[in-house]
Amino acid sequence: MATATLDRCGEVLARLARGDVSAFEEIVQAHQSMVFSIAYHFLHDRSLAEEAAQDVFLRLYRNLASIKSPKHLVFWLRQVACRRALDQLRRLPKAPPVSLENVAEPAEDPPDSDPLLSRGLRRMVASLPENARAVIILRYQEELELAEIAQILDIPINTVKSRLERSLEVLREKFHRWAGGVAR
C-alpha cells in the first residue's frame, strides 16, 4: 500500500513538474495529516499547529524544484515540519494570541481507547525538552527507525538513542506520578 501511495505521489510530482499546479492540492491532501500532527504534537495547540503546517506547505511550494522523488518529499516534509515547529516553539512567548474566529474546527479523529490516558500522555510529551520531543514524535507518531530520525534531525544516531531512552524514562516517571494522582 505504501508503494502504491509513493507511485501515486510520483505521478503527482511528475504532473507538477509539467506545470500542473492543481496537482499540488493532491500533495497537500496526501500529507496534511502528517505535517499537521508533527506540528500539533510539538506545539500542543491546534491554531499554532495549523499555522506552522500551512507554512511548511508554502515552503514546499516555493521549493518544489528541489524535490527529487516521493520518498524525498516525505523526508523533506518531516524535516521542515520539525524545524518549523521548533522555530514556532522558540518564538512562542512573543507570539500574539490568535482570536477564536481564526481557530479551525477540529476534524473528526478516530477515538482513543483511553482518551484520558492519551491526553495525559500528549501533555507529558509536550512538557519534554524540545529536542527530546522531536525524537519521541518521530519515533511514535511517524514510527521511524533511529537512523531515519537521525537523518531528519541531522544528529548522530547515538544521540537519538540516548535522547529516546532518557525521554522514555522521564515519561514513565511522569506517567506513574500522574497515574497515582488520577487513582487517588
Binding site residues, other proteins, CB under 8 A: 24-25, 28-29, 32-37, 40-41, 46, 50, 53-54, 57-58, 61, 104-110, 112-114, 117-119, 121-122, 125, 136-137, 140-141, 143, 168, 171-172, 175
Q: Least separation, in Å, of the C-beta of 100 and other proteins?
A: 14
Q: Which residue, 81 or 150, is less far from other proteins as judged by CB?
A: 81
Task: Tell which residue, 139, 145, 10, has the closest CA to residue 68.
Answer: 10
Q: Least separation, in Å, of the C-beta of 173 and other proteins?
A: 12
CB neighbourhood size of 48 (10 A):
21
Q: Least separation, in Å, of the C-beta of 125 and other proteins?
A: 7
Contact yes or no for 41/137 (Cβ under 8 A): yes
Side chain identity, residue 149? I
Q: Least separation, in Å, of the C-beta of 91 and other proteins?
A: 19
Q: Which residue, 33 or 69, is less far from other proteins as judged by CB?
A: 33
